[in-house]
Homo-oligomer: A and B are copies of this chain.
Amino acid sequence: MKRPTELVPRKRPVQQRSKETVEAILEAAGRVFASHGFAAGTSNRIAARAGVSIGSFYQYFPNKDAIVVALMERHMAETTATFEALKDLSDRVVMTVEDVVRHFVMALLNTYQQDPALFRVLFEEAPRPLGIHNTRAKIHEAVANALVPQMGRLITAQLRDPLVSAHLLVEVATASVRHFVLHTPAGLKAETFAEELIVMIVAYLVGPEPTMTPRSANP
């Protein structure tokens, strides 16, 4: 009867009532993790915060980790949607490199700023081997791949290897924004940070040709 650490929801809620319960649990879990951290975000605390019994918690989630997984999946779905939207946009309207990069960075920033404390728990504190790792890697991969043609279209300067550049871009942007938001270095405002990061990425992509963002104000 050993049930090897299941991470998928236990039971699909069919009635309206149970859908609400699941929703309440997820919502409560987010708030509890954000305020107490992963270790102190106990299943009982989450259930209490959700206003349901601990039994209900375990009707829908086989264990505590499954909650983290569910929360991450939510976040990832959102992230993916954001990127899709950006891709669609750049397909429809003419955008400069800087426009694309700005959208990208801002989307990341907005995402993480929604709930920094929670994301700290989800992305750093919660134990890895949740299988979620692969999912995240796949998303990055997909985004990077999607970027390649965009880059080809927009960037005249030739990059050594567009795919590598796309990967780098995704990694650097994600890591930097996340790190900035989750650990908020004092003395650096989000807008300033974002603006400079955009400059950096654009400088990298556009190369040693003049850009539309004047670096210096000197006449």
* Chain A contacts to B: CB under 8 angstroms: 1-2, 4, 36-37, 39-40, 120, 123-125, 127-128, 133, 137, 140-141, 157-160, 164-165, 167-168, 171-172, 174-176, 178-180, 183, 185-188, 192-193, 196-197, 199-201, 203-204, 206-211, 215-218
Contacts and interface: CB of A to CB of B under 8 A. Distances in A.
Nearest to A210: B208
Contacts of A172: 172, 176, 197, 200
B127 A158 contact: no
Contact of A125 (B127, B165, B168): B127
A218 B161 CA distance: 12
13 contacts: A125-B125, A140-B185, A160-B215, A164-B188, A167-B185, A167-B188, A171-B179, A172-B176, A172-B200, A175-B179, A200-B204, A203-B207, A207-B215
A154 to B, nearest CB: 15
Given A207-B203, A208-B208, A216-B160, A137 B185 contact: yes
